[in-house]
Structure 1
Amino acid sequence: MEKTIDETKQGTALETREQQANTRKLYIESYGCQMNFSDSEIVASILSGEGFNTTPNMEEADLILVNTCSIRDKAEQTVRKRLEQFNTLKRDKPSIKVGVLGCMAERLKSQLLEEEQIVDMVVGPDAYKDLPNLVREVDGGAQAVNVILSKEETYGDVAPVRLGSNGVTAFVSITRGCDNMCTFCVVPFTRGRERSRDPQSIVKEVGELWEQGFREVTLLGQNVDSYLWYGGGLKKDYEKASDIQKASAVNFAGLLDQVAAAYPGMRIRFSTSNPQDMTLDVIEAMARHRNICKYIHLPVQSGSDRILQAMNRLHTRQEYMELIDNIRRLIPECGISQDMIAGFPTETEEDHRETLSLMEYVKYDFGFMFAYSERPGTLAARKMADDVPEEDKKRRLREIIELQQQHSLWRNQQHLGKVEEVLIEGPSKRSDAHWMGRNTQNTVVVFPKEQYQKGEFVNVRIEDCTSATLLGTAVGYAQQ
Structure 2
Amino acid sequence: MSSVFEGTTFCIHTFGCQMNKHDSERVSGMLEGLGSLPVETIEEADLVVFMTCCVREAADTRLYGQVASMKNIPLREGSPLGKRYSAVGGCIGQRDGEKLLKALPHLDVVFGTHNLGSLPGLLRRAIERHDRASEVLEAGEAFSSDLPTAREHTWAAWLPITVGCNNFCSYCIVPYVRGREKSRKLEDIAQEARGYVEAGVKEITLLGQNVNSYGRDLYGEPRFVDVLDAVDATGIERLRFATSHPKDLTDEVIERFGTLRSLMPALHLPVQSGSNRILEAMNRRYTRERYLSLIEKLRAVRPDIALSTDIIVGFPGETEADFMETYRLVEEVGYSQVFTFIYSKREGTPAAEMEDDTPREVIQDRFDRLVDLVQRKAFEANQAELGAVVDVLVEGTSKRDGAILAGKSPKNQTVHAPIPSGIDAAALIGSTVPVRIEEARTWYLSGTVVDA
TM-score higher than 0.5 here?
A: yes
State whether residues 29 and 65 of structure 1, in contact with CA within 8 Å, keep that contact through their aligned partners in structure 2. yes
Q: CA deviation at 1:60?
A: 4.1
Residues 218-258 of structure 1: per-residue CA shift (max 9 Å, x gap):
11111111111xxxxxx4x55xxxxxx66xx8711111111
Q: CA deviation at 1:57?
A: 4.0
Helix, strand or coil for the counterpart of 1:28?
strand
C-alpha separation between the residues in 1 aligned to 2:319 and 2:140?
40
Aligned partner (choices 27, 38, 44) of residue 43 of structure 1: 27
1:88 matched residue in structure 2: 72
Q: Please list, as runs of the form range in 1=range in 2, the aligned pairs for 1:409-420 lying within 5 A after superposition.
A: 409-420=379-390
The one-letter amino acid of 2:395's match is E
Helix, strand or coil for the counterpart of 2:450?
strand
Q: CA deviation at 1:457?
A: 1.6
Q: Please list, as runs of the form range in 1=range in 2, the aligned pairs for 1:115-194 lying within 5 A after superposition.
A: 115-139=103-127, 140-150=129-139, 152-162=141-151, 165-194=152-181
Matched, 1:63 2:47: yes
1:467 matched residue in structure 2: 442
Structure 1 residues 386 and 40, CA gap change in structure 2 (3 angstroms): farther
Residues 188-247 of structure 1: per-residue CA shift (max 9 Å, x gap):
01111111123333333333333433311211111111111xxxxxx4x55xxxxxx66x
Structure 1 residues 350 and 109, CA gap change in structure 2 (3 angstroms): same
Q: Please list, as runs of the form range in 1=range in 2, the aligned pairs for 1:264-283 lying within 5 A after superposition.
A: 264=236, 266-283=237-254
State whether residues 47 and 131 of structure 1, in contact with CA within 8 Å, keep that contact through their aligned partners in structure 2. no
User: Percent identity of the aligned residues?
Assistant: 39
1:347 matched residue in structure 2: 318
Helix, strand or coil for the counterpart of 2:248?
coil
C-alpha separation between the residues in 1 aligned to 2:20 and 2:116?
12
C-alpha separation between the residues in 2 aligned to 1:73 and 1:206?
35
1:404 matched residue in structure 2: 374
The one-letter amino acid of 1:136's match is R
Aligned partner (choices 341, 364, 389) of residue 370 of structure 1: 341
Structure 1 residues 99 and 337, CA gap change in structure 2 (3 angstroms): same
Q: CA deviation at 1:103?
A: 0.5
Helix, strand or coil for the counterpart of 1:282?
helix
State whether residues 12 and 24 of structure 2, in contact with CA within 8 Å, keep that contact through their aligned partners in structure 1. yes
1:231 matched residue in structure 2: none
Helix, strand or coil for the counterpart of 2:131?
coil
Helix, strand or coil for the counterpart of 1:218?
strand
1:257 matched residue in structure 2: 229
Helix, strand or coil for the counterpart of 1:172?
strand
Structure 1 residues 396 and 270, CA gap change in structure 2 (3 angstroms): same
C-alpha separation between the residues in 2 aligned to 1:146 and 1:386?
37
Helix, strand or coil for the counterpart of 1:276?
helix
Structure 1 residues 364 and 86, CA gap change in structure 2 (3 angstroms): same
Structure 1 residues 322 and 413, CA gap change in structure 2 (3 angstroms): same
TM-score, scaled to structure 1: 0.87
TM-score, scaled to structure 2: 0.92
Q: Between Structure 1 and Structure 2, how many residues are aligned?
A: 440
State whether residues 161 and 189 of structure 2, in contact with CA within 8 Å, keep that contact through their aligned partners in structure 1. yes
Residues 288-336 of structure 1: per-residue CA shift (max 9 Å, x gap):
1121111000110000000001111111100000000110111111100
Matched, 1:300 2:271: yes
Residues 137-157 of structure 1: per-residue CA shift (max 9 Å, x gap):
222122211111215332232
Aligned partner (choices 358, 363, 368) of residue 393 of structure 1: 363
Q: Which 5+ residue runs of structure 2 have no aligned equivalent?
A: none
C-alpha separation between the residues in 2 aligned to 1:341 and 1:143?
38
2:202 matched residue in structure 1: 215
State whether residues 394 and 408 of structure 2, in contact with CA within 8 Å, keep that contact through their aligned partners in structure 1. yes
The one-letter amino acid of 2:141's match is E
1:286 matched residue in structure 2: 257
State whether residues 378 and 442 of structure 2, in contact with CA within 8 Å, keep that contact through their aligned partners in structure 1. yes
2:292 matched residue in structure 1: 321
Residues 136-193 of structure 1: per-residue CA shift (max 9 Å, x gap):
322212221111121533223223211xx24332322221111110111110011111
Q: CA deviation at 1:416?
A: 1.3
Residues 40-94 of structure 1: per-residue CA shift (max 9 Å, x gap):
1112223344443323242343321111110111111111110111222378986
1:11 matched residue in structure 2: none
C-alpha separation between the residues in 1 aligned to 2:396 and 2:341?
29
State whether residues 265 and 302 of structure 2, in contact with CA within 8 Å, keep that contact through their aligned partners in structure 1. yes
C-alpha separation between the residues in 2 aligned to 1:473 and 1:132?
47
The one-letter amino acid of 1:392's match is V
State whether residues 218 and 269 of structure 1, in contact with CA within 8 Å, keep that contact through their aligned partners in structure 2. yes
Structure 1 residues 433 and 63, CA gap change in structure 2 (3 angstroms): closer
C-alpha separation between the residues in 2 aligned to 1:414 and 1:54?
41
C-alpha separation between the residues in 1 aligned to 2:295 and 2:74?
52
State whether residues 179 and 188 of structure 1, in contact with CA within 8 Å, keep that contact through their aligned partners in structure 2. yes
C-alpha separation between the residues in 1 aligned to 2:286 and 2:38?
43
State whether residues 28 and 40 of structure 1, in contact with CA within 8 Å, keep that contact through their aligned partners in structure 2. yes
Between 405-414 and 42-51, report the one with greater CA deviation. 42-51
The one-letter amino acid of 1:103's match is C
Helix, strand or coil for the counterpart of 1:476?
coil
The one-letter amino acid of 2:328's match is S
C-alpha separation between the residues in 1 aligned to 2:433 and 2:244?
28
Helix, strand or coil for the counterpart of 1:167?
coil
The one-letter amino acid of 1:271's match is A
1:437 matched residue in structure 2: 407
Helix, strand or coil for the counterpart of 2:291?
helix
State whether residues 392 and 407 of structure 2, in contact with CA within 8 Å, keep that contact through their aligned partners in structure 1. yes
C-alpha separation between the residues in 2 aligned to 1:104 and 1:90?
26
C-alpha separation between the residues in 2 aligned to 1:182 and 1:213?
38
C-alpha separation between the residues in 2 aligned to 1:473 and 1:148?
51
The one-letter amino acid of 1:376's match is E
The one-letter amino acid of 1:378's match is T
1:102 matched residue in structure 2: 90
State whether residues 24 and 52 of structure 1, in contact with CA within 8 Å, keep that contact through their aligned partners in structure 2. yes
